[in-house]
Chains A and B, each alone.
Chain A
Amino acid sequence: MKKAFSAVLLILLLLLLTISSSAGGSVNITVTVPSEHTVTVECGTGGRITVSGTEYSGTNAFTAARFGSFTVTAVPSDGYVTDAITCDSGRLTLSENNAVLDRVLADVQINVTFKTASSTTENVSIPVTGKEKTISAKAVVNGDTAKVSVDENELEQLLSADTGAENVTVDISQTEADVNTVIIPISIIEAVALHTDDEENGTIGLEVLFPESAVIFDAAALNAISAQATEDDVTLRIEKIDRSKLTDTQQAAVDADPSDNIIVLSIALSSGDTVISDFNGGSAEIKLPYTPAPGEDISTISVWYVSAGGSMEQVQCSYKDGFVTFTALHFSNYIVKSGIISGGINPHCFICRWCGGNIAPWCIIIPVLFVLLAAGIVIIIFIFIKKRKNKNFYSEWRIVK
């Protein structure tokens, strides 16, 4: 009996042992997603970067709103080109020297690096016709810039001879690079200017031949340039540019033009930091290739100077053998186009010439008014004549009656 009781007790106790015990608790996981992120831009040597129109060098940190965009522009120094723009997040949209981070999602770092532009040394010759005397000047080409150097003694000998040539020519057109900028020693400018003053010499100007254009300075322009130069050389740059590089007012004026084929030219001359734009009565002849569009009327090709304020002034030009030639009294931005332009003169429209331009919409309204006026006069005359006839008829009728 006792054994049985003990066994039952043991079983009950075992049952109690199998009852589970439990415990626990809750924990919170928290996080803060920031509303702004830091964009660190590291700019290498050989250039600078711009953010929101301000230039920076070295390493700079910027703040960008979460989900916003961030744009950085590389500005290579002279003799350098942009090598790479990279981002550790890998979400950059690249376009030439521009990099756009479309959606800022975290702190990121952007690296901008530059490299030296390809540099080649080429010998260019300054040909002189007549006695076929030629001297060789050296040109160091870096990217789109050619820096010319010449032996001054050789240059003097060249210019002292009876060349019979009209212009002394600096010919960069045969380089492999797409040169649009030439750095010319002031000694060449001064020497040619001096000899253009000598009527017996026959030299009348300095011609600079680019791969895609040519500039000819007359004697007065050369003297003006020589007088304004502040450094040992002058920099001449002529290039076709996108209209987006114009000022806002200039761009608005060009955008208002309905022509499809518009070439925007930027022509600049400087000596160090001094911009030379006044030729003191002299001029520079510009010649550049122009390919008319299919069906384009080449007789309507025109050249316009675009002022900083957006006004446009037509300059005389000619088109021959695939080249447009015009004379510039100063350097700035110009457009080459064809057809009638708004706010300007169609040289073949007598109304425009009569009105003096800048009123192109009236080129349509005025002829219409003339037609209406003429029609009105005809109608009045007709009515008058008819009334006179009727008056005579009734008079006769009364007499008859």
Chain B
Amino acid sequence: MLVLIIASAMSLPAFAAGNSSGGITTITTSIEATYTVTIPESTPITFNVLSNPIGNIAVTAARLAPGEKITVTAVTDGMLKNDDNQTVTIAYTLKSGGAAFSSSDFTSIATKALTVDITQEAWDNAPAGDYTGTITFTVSYSGSNP
């Protein structure tokens, strides 16, 4: 976080005694933006379950400047790959609220629940074995007018 304090010095003009005069003093300060974002942990899902909860994206203690936002992005190839044979896969979709999830903007405290959804057909065709898939989350903070 950047913390910046701007201060400017002003000099008041001097006048001869007997006359009154005034001036404007500008006082400035800056409150730094703070936020905390949590993403899901690595998690096992249950075989043959169509929608597996994997955790939440949660924005807590957010203090953002007006017009600024936090963006959380999830990148995945949508495949659970067999640990012994990477060509054997189970397709899945990362979802939030029933819709496919790729990114979301946050301007205040909020939580989004994520699920890994796998169709019954995909489960039925999956050979026995251990499978692993990877989801990469990226959290960014930016203003609306750079």
Interface segment, one of B13-21, B104-112, B134-142: B134-142
In the complex, the answer to whether B40 meets A27 with C-beta atoms within 8 Å is yes
Chain B contacts for A27, CB-based, 8 A: 39-43, 54, 134-135, 137
Query: B residues within 8 A CB of A18?
Result: 142-143, 145-146
Q: Give the residues in chain B near A20, CB-CB below 8 Å.
A: 140-142, 146
Query: Known contacts A20-B140, A22-B140: does B46 contact A31 (CB below 8 Å)?
Result: yes
B128 touches A29 (CB 8 A): no
Number of inter-chain CB pairs below 8 Å = 111
In the complex, the answer to whether A28 meets B140 with C-beta atoms within 8 Å is: no
Among residues 31 to 66 in chain A, which have CB atoms less than 8 Å away from a CB atom of chain B?
A: 31-35, 66
- List residues of B (9-62) whose CB comes within 8 Å of A's CBs: 9, 37, 39-48, 54
Contact check, B47 vs A28: say whether CB atoms are below 8 A apart. Answer: no
With an 8 A cutoff between CB atoms, is B85 at the interface?
A: no
Distance, CA A10 to CA B130, complexed state (A) = 57
Give chain B residues whose Cβ lies under 8 Å from the Cβ of A6: 8
Known: A17-B143, A29-B43, A31-B80. A24 touches B131 (CB 8 A): no
Chain B residue with Cβ nearest A17:
B2
Shortest CB distance A177–B (Å): 44
A29: nearest residue on chain B (CB-CB)? B133
Contacts of B123 in A (CB 8 A): 33, 105-106
Q: With the chains together, A26 CA to B74 CA distance in Å? A: 9
Instruction: Kindly list chain A residues whose C-beta atoms are within 8 Å of the C-beta of B1.
Output: 21
* Residue ranges of B at the interface with A (Cβ–Cβ < 8 Å): 1-2, 4, 6, 8-9, 37, 39-48, 54, 65, 73, 80, 90, 92, 116, 123-124, 126-143, 145-146
| Pairs across A and B, CB under 8 Å, 18 listed | A9-B6, A10-B6, A13-B4, A16-B2, A22-B139, A24-B139, A25-B39, A27-B40, A29-B43, A29-B92, A29-B132, A29-B135, A30-B133, A31-B90, A32-B47, A32-B129, A33-B47, A34-B128
